[in-house]
Amino acid sequence: MNEKERYFKQVYQESRDKIYRICLGFTGNHIDADDLFQEITIKVWNNLNSFRKESNINTWIYRISTNTALQYLHKRNRSDKFRRDLKSENIITENAEHEYSDHEEQVNRLYKAISSLKEIDRIIIGLLLEENSYSEIADITGISTSNVGVRINRIKKALSKKMK
């Protein structure tokens, strides 16, 4: 195993769960999240040599993840599939052979609610759920720290409304 492979393996192990939750937050279902996750993983691998280590590796991966997720949604938006997904019930519950526990249902409802937010709000709440500080979220999104706080309060209210 060469140095790039070892470094990628380490980065992958540390960030895969966070990346997947970002994917789920953007797509609202596991099928599309799996596709998006694979696309992001490939981009991280292909661009790992270009990471200049001027910022934290997690910040770099979040940027790749959110940019790829936005591109993915724009592609999906152009297809009829996107319109069907918005009108249909959550794919997870439609196709599931077994019942989910209350907790899993709540999590799925939360991700579906997050996926209905505006793009920047999905990014912000995803980063917050990954326990990034307001200043880290500001660095990643390019908005001011105080604006991050205001947006997070609005996002929480919107999600609370959607969950009721």
Please say whether the beta carbons of 11 and 65 come within 8 A.
no
The pLDDT value given to residue 102: 63
The pLDDT value given to residue 50: 87
> Which has the higher per-residue pLDDT, 154 or 55?
154
| 3-state secondary structure at position 90 | coil
From the CB of residue 156, how many other CB atoms can be counted at a distance below 10 Å? 12
Tell me the H-state helices in the chain: 3-27, 30-47, 57-77, 80-87, 91-95, 102-115, 119-129, 134-141, 145-163
Structure token pair of residue 137: 């979220």
Residue ranges of domains in the chain: 3-163
The pLDDT value given to residue 150: 94
How far apart (Å, rounded) are the C-alpha atoms in residues 126 and 111?
A: 10
The pLDDT value given to residue 21: 87
Residue 74 one-letter amino acid: H
pLDDT 10s digits, 91-134? 444 444 444 456 667 777 888 888 888 888 888 888 887 778 89
Cα–Cα distance list, 145 to 86, 117, 130, 163 (Å): 32, 20, 17, 27
The pLDDT value given to residue 123: 85
The pLDDT value given to residue 153: 92
Phi, psi for residue 144 in degrees, rounded to 5: -70, 155
**Side-chain-facing half-sphere of 71: CA atoms under 13 Å:** 12
> Which has the higher per-residue pLDDT, 105 or 30?
30
pLDDT 10s digits, 43-76? 999 998 888 877 788 888 888 888 888 888 777 7
The model's pTM: 0.58
